[in-house]
């Protein structure tokens, strides 16, 4: 699915939008500040049959549900490894192996995205799924959590459903919902030890969370990644763009950020306190998303169009006769929107990422807000 669906705006309307978004400060059609998200309501644990689930409703009416199911699966092993209890391995070897085996594999996660009205093999849907998956797999931290022992792991199925029509590009919605669902995910408590066949406690209440919580504060110490949608119009950076805003974007980026717990813990020890701004954000992945403007072929003036008798014009030297034609091709006309041409500037890209990652920036804000959602 392209990020532009059914935007039926005239060039004049587009130009108006573009202009107002390029102002400093930009003026957004719905009156939000550039970094402001659309209001949303969220809840978790809505699907009792799943290991974890969440639902988020944006104020514009888009709504998504994510369910997480986990299954025990046998880990493929090295061909020469036939030990069962791992008893007869000497120490060094054991360590070496642990390091190697500590890594999960990306096929432990299966993620499907369902957008109403689109086939599941639609390129847009697949791309969305890939972006969400990529963020999860990027630093290997997520799959490491799925390891049970050397012989077994959890296979996680993430079912991401958009249940409203896609009124805007659903990436932020789906990502936030997935984030919450993973936070709420619990896996049965392991009772067996070492590399035995796993054996679980039948008490669901004893099942630990996939993302461990601090036993005293009940706060999640580490969080799954989120993917933010950011766009630039002129020099302005705008978060969580609506459908109309996307139509006039110069650059659109999907930025996945994770919470780098390891470095945070070190710092926290020094501070002796853990406030939200203490979060150490880590960039996991960046994807450019083609805005509609990129998909619209720029108009070619009749004069320059050989199919339209350009050759003839050249031979008769008639370019003097039609000065306007030249002009339309090179300069923007006031009041008429013209898709931007050429790539995004490195400066703009840098600014976009910077804006996401800066402490106290949008990503922080989003994560703070998500922390407010009760996931127990």
> Please, which residue, 118 or 200, has the CB nearer to other proteins?
200
> Please, which residue, 15 or 51, has the CB nearer to other proteins?
51
Give all strands (DSSP E) within 115-163, no chain letters.
Answer: 152-162
The Cα 179–Cα 226 span in angstroms is 6
Q: Is 42 in the site for other proteins (CB under 8 A)?
A: yes
- Read off the tokens for 48: 């009792």
CB of 207 to other proteins, least distance (A): 7
CB of 215 to other proteins, least distance (A): 11
Sequence length of the chain is 376
Interface stretch with other proteins, choices 38-46, 112-120, 135-143, 251-259 (CB under 8 A): 38-46
CB of 198 to other proteins, least distance (A): 7
> Please, which residue, 39 or 309, has the CB nearer to other proteins?
39
CB of 179 to other proteins, least distance (A): 12
> Please, which residue, 6 or 88, has the CB nearer to other proteins?
88
Interface stretch with other proteins, choices 17-25, 40-48, 134-142, 323-331 (CB under 8 A): 40-48
Q: Show the site string, 44-83: x = touches other proteins by CB under 8 A, - = not.
A: --x-xxxx-----x------------xxx-----------
Report CA dihedral (308, 311, 315, 318) to the nearest 10 degrees.
30
Q: Which of 1, 4, 37, 264 forms a contact with other proteins (CB under 8 A)? A: 37
Residue 128: closest CA among 160, 81, 157, 104: 160
CA atoms 156, 56, 274, 356: torsion sign: positive
- State the Cα angle at 314 between 312 and 319, rounded to 5°: 115
CB of 114 to other proteins, least distance (A): 22
Helix (H) or strand (E) run with residue 232 in it:
strand 226-233
C-alpha distances in Å from residue 194, one per residue of 79, 102, 131, 191, 354 = 20, 14, 35, 10, 44
How many other CB atoms sit within 10 Å of the CB of residue 135?
25
The Cα 308–Cα 285 span in angstroms is 45
> Please, which residue, 343 or 360, has the CB nearer to other proteins?
360
CB of 24 to other proteins, least distance (A): 27
Do β-strands 251-259 and 63-74 pair in parallel, antiparallel, or remain unpaired?
unpaired
CB of 208 to other proteins, least distance (A): 12
CB of 200 to other proteins, least distance (A): 5
> Please, which residue, 85 or 308, has the CB nearer to other proteins?
85
Which positions ≥6 away from 248 have C-beta within 8 Å? 14, 17, 18, 21, 233, 291, 293, 337
Do β-strands 226-233 and 63-74 pair in parallel, antiparallel, or remain unpaired?
unpaired
Report yes or no: 363 and 281 within 8 Å, Cβ to Cβ. Answer: yes
> Please, which residue, 96 or 201, has the CB nearer to other proteins?
201
- Read off the tokens for 272: 């002796």
Residue 236 phi, psi (nearest 5): -90, 140
The Cα 226–Cα 37 span in angstroms is 14
The Cα 141–Cα 103 span in angstroms is 9
> Please, which residue, 204 or 308, has the CB nearer to other proteins?
204
Q: Show the site string, 333-372: x = touches other proteins by CB under 8 A, - = not.
A: ------------------------------------xx-x
> Please, which residue, 199 or 308, has the CB nearer to other proteins?
199
- Read off the tokens for 69: 């199911």
> Please, which residue, 159 or 250, has the CB nearer to other proteins?
159
Q: Which of 1, 14, 17, 40 forms a contact with other proteins (CB under 8 A)? A: 40
Residue 200 phi, psi (nearest 5): -115, 155
- Binding positions for other proteins, 152-211, rule CB under 8 A: 188, 191-193, 195-205, 207
CB of 148 to other proteins, least distance (A): 10
Interacting residues with other proteins (CB under 8 A): 37, 39-43, 46, 48-51, 57, 70-72, 84-85, 188, 191-193, 195-205, 207, 369-370, 372-374
């Amino acid at each position: 699915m392209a990020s532009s669906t059914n935007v039926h705006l005239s060039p004049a309307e587009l130009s108006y939008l573009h202009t107002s978004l390029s102002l400093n400060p930009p003026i957004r059609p719905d009156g939000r500040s550039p970094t402001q998200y659309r209001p949303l309501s969220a809840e978790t644990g809505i699907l009792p049959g799943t290991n974890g689930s969440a639902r988020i409703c944006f104020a514009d009416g888009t709504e998504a549900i994510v369910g997480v199911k986990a299954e025990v699966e046998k880990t493929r092993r090295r061909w020469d490894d036939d030990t069962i209890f791992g008893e007869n391995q000497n120490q060094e070897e054991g360590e070496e192996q642990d390091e190697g085996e500590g890594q999960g594999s990306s096929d432990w996660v299966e993620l499907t995205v369902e957008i109403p009205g689109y086939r599941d093999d639609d390129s847009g849907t697949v791309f969305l799924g890939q972006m969400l998956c990529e963020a999860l797999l990027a630093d290997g931290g997520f799959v490491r959590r799925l390891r049970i022992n050397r012989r077994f792991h959890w296979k996680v199925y993430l079912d991401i459903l958009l249940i409203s029509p896609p009124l805007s590009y659903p990436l932020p919605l789906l990502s936030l919902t997935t984030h919450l669902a993973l936070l709420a995910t619990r896996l049965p408590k392991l009772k067996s030890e070492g590399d035995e066949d796993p054996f679980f406690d039948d008490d669901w209440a004893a099942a630990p969370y996939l993302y461990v919580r601090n036993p005293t504060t009940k706060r999640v110490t580490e969080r799954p990644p989120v993917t933010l949608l950011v766009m630039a119009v002129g020099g302005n950076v705008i978060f969580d763009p609506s459908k109309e805003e996307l139509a006039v974007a110069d650059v659109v980026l999907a930025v996945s950020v994770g919470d780098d717990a390891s470095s945070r813990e070190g710092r926290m020890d020094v501070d002796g306190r853990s406030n939200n701004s203490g979060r150490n954000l880590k960039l996991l992945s960046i994807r450019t998303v083609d805005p509609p403007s990129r998909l619209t072929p720029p108009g070619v003036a009749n004069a320059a169009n050989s199919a339209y008798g350009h050759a003839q014009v050249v031979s008769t030297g008639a370019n003097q006769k039609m000065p306007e034609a030249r002009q339309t091709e090179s300069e923007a006309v006031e009041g008429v929107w013209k898709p931007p041409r050429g790539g995004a500037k490195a400066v703009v890209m840098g600014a976009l990422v910077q804006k996401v990652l800066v402490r106290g920036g949008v990503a922080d804000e989003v994560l703070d807000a998500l922390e407010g959602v009760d996931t127990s």
